[in-house]
Chain A
């Protein structure tokens, strides 16, 4: 009998959209005969968080002290750890206001109210454990899941995409939102793979797949273009931080564009 791959899907703090995207895939029914779901609370009542698995998919940002313990436990039990979606990979939109203190944010929402759990600022999973592979997007595309799972099942590793949304946008022949409409499109710095979905609808990219890796996220050159279009440094940083707040290169590269120039 074929040995089934043991899969766990674990949720930290998120909108549950990555799991929903996976659960909504009809293709899942073809995968299931080859897989054993050890943990996936969204669909399986008999779920076990601390059992060994071959592949652990983690969705959500680390946002409570309890979640730090959880990710460590998942790492110990898993052969392959996959961070799924913008929250797990980049900290998610909840990291947008990274510069305000937890106390400040807490007070705005909860006032003097107390809760018995320990909240913390949202962070990517990688800040606490080694991550073997990332599935990008908010939410990821279905084909991202198919590609990753399919590659794992044949015993290989998926490859990262290292070119921007602009490449796919040009191939699709959409009008350029940045150049032709003058809108702050983040396509030039954002990892492709969505087939330029939003520009195809005439909407500027907000960067939900995160900046391209390998240090080729050209935050500075895009910031220069934005600056020429009249955006302030704060406006540029705000927009780029929606999905890139934890990127160590971001501030430094945007800052560069505004140094030594008289406003």
Chain B
């Protein structure tokens, strides 16, 4: 009998960053509606920083999100430096990328081991896995600690890094610290590879299999990385970062404090580790390149669960990449942490790859103050696509036990590694 339907809801999705819920409404014809309710309150970051001094605004932006505060800080600083017409020295740029990679390593390790893995192993909470999965929890903590320590040394702390300033850093770590960082990264490589092996064995649910449009920042210098000045789309299209508003169009939706984004105003799209791999695997090198070649079928463009494995691949890649960047910085070493900057009027757009995908900052500077700010985060870009995938899962399982459907729906959401706090601080119209 199907005359009475109750919505299947998860009020508060656990093991994600921020507050959001899923609502699935089933009717006679099957799934009627799927909504990701983003219930985290608004914080109006763009509005409160307009009119404020540039350096103070740059201290506030990373506070949009703790999981990717380094990403926010570095992207905001790059947009500001572009606006005032300043380009950091090469070794400063290299060390900033190392700091960004610290965030990437910590965030991916936390997401994979503490947020995703418990679902696969049947635990409600990663801390309960300690006895039975000592090795895995040990690796999770080691990688997490490595990422945090990199951010401590280069950013002053692991959350909200005040050591990144216009023109460079407040203070640089010494050569000895950088050499130690390199050693610790080398020691972490086998742990990153173990993570990849572990995640290559986990199921990717075929219910959500289907074509996905992927967007990723086109890496600078043709090497797989974080910084870039153009966006690539998996359909072959490419556009300069400045044109983001033309091709990534945002709309307010009634059930969410975060807006939804569409490619060319109509198509949901995905961004994140799997999108980076799909669009730019040819720019990988080293051990990650080999792992990609041997696991292409799992790192596929058609399943959002592949994002988990892509993050594991990136743990390997970025660990190696950070070692190379440290070498580059040491080769061009100078103890001068920052250059004088002149705060001129101007407008700058920075697009970078945060752990969860494309992060956009557009800043206009006038008389030393922020005159305009537009920030769009990966989770805001992903929300529309996430709803599509939760719906696909619901369509296959709406007749099952509601608890089972809830579990699967949450797993779909978790695969995106959503950062809900980030997503509610979305752009002005």
A contact set with B: CB distance below 8 Å: 11-18, 20-21, 23-24, 26, 28-29, 32, 37, 41-47, 49, 61, 63-64, 66-67, 92-94, 96-97, 100, 104-106, 108-111, 113-117, 119-120, 122, 138-139, 197-198, 200-203, 206, 208, 235, 238-239, 242
Contacts and interface: CB of A to CB of B under 8 A. Distances in A.
A234 to B, nearest CB: 10
Interface string B149-176: 0000000111110110100011100000
A206 B61 CA distance: 13
A261 B67 CA distance: 47
Contact of B43 (A94, A113, A197, A235): A94
B60 A26 contact: no
Interface of B: 12-19, 39-50, 52-53, 56, 59-60, 63-67, 69, 110, 114, 118, 124-127, 130, 141, 144-145, 148, 156-160, 162-163, 165, 169-171, 252, 254-257, 259, 337, 410, 421, 426-429
B170 A201 contact: yes
B56 A29 contact: no
8 contacts: A17-B69, A23-B114, A63-B41, A109-B47, A110-B42, A122-B41, A198-B156, A201-B170
A120 B169 CA distance: 37
Contacts of A114: 252, 254
A142 B195 CA distance: 27
A201 B48 contact: no
B43 A16 contact: no
B43 A63 contact: yes
Contact of A203 (B18, B49, B125, B170): B170
A108 B45 CA distance: 10
Given A13-B40, A111-B429, A197-B157, A20 B67 contact: yes
Nearest to B68: A15
B159 A21 contact: yes
For chain B, what secondary structure do more than half of its interface residues adopt (helix, strand, loop), or is it mixed?
loop
Nearest to A114: B254
Given A201-B171, A203-B156, A64 B41 contact: yes
B56 A109 contact: no
A44 B124 contact: yes
A65 to B, nearest CB: 10
Most buried by B among A46, A61, A110, A197: A110
B44 A115 contact: no
Contacts, number: 195
B162 A198 contact: yes
Contact of A97 (B48, B159, B170): B48
A122 to B, nearest CB: 7
Most buried by A among B66, B114, B254: B66
A15 B156 contact: no
A153 to B, nearest CB: 17
A200 B155 CA distance: 12
Given A23-B114, A109-B428, A66 B39 contact: yes
Most buried by B among A21, A26, A117, A239: A117
Most buried by A among B41, B69, B254: B41
**Top 9 A-B residue pairs of the complex, sorted by shortest distance between their CB atoms:** A113-B252, A17-B66, A63-B41, A13-B41, A111-B429, A97-B48, A108-B47, A203-B170, A94-B43
A108 B124 contact: no
Nearest to B18: A16
A43 B53 contact: no
Given A97-B44, A203-B170, A242 B337 contact: no
Given A37-B125, A109-B42, A198-B156, A20 B66 contact: yes
Contact of A26 (B46, B50, B141, B165): B141
Contact of B67 (A16, A28, A115, A119): A16
Contact of B44 (A11, A20, A105): A105
Given A16-B67, A63-B43, A203-B162, A105 B255 contact: no
A185 B52 CA distance: 17
A29 B252 CA distance: 42
B48 A96 contact: yes
Contact of B19 (A11, A17, A61, A120): A11
Given A23-B110, A105-B47, 17 more contacts: A12-B41, A16-B18, A24-B144, A32-B127, A41-B13, A45-B14, A45-B15, A45-B125, A63-B43, A67-B41, A92-B63, A94-B44, A115-B252, A119-B257, A197-B156, A198-B156, A201-B163
Given A13-B43, A26-B141, A111-B428, A201 B162 contact: yes
Nearest to B49: A96
A106 B410 CA distance: 30
Contacts of A24: 110, 144, 148, 158
B20 to A, nearest CB: 10
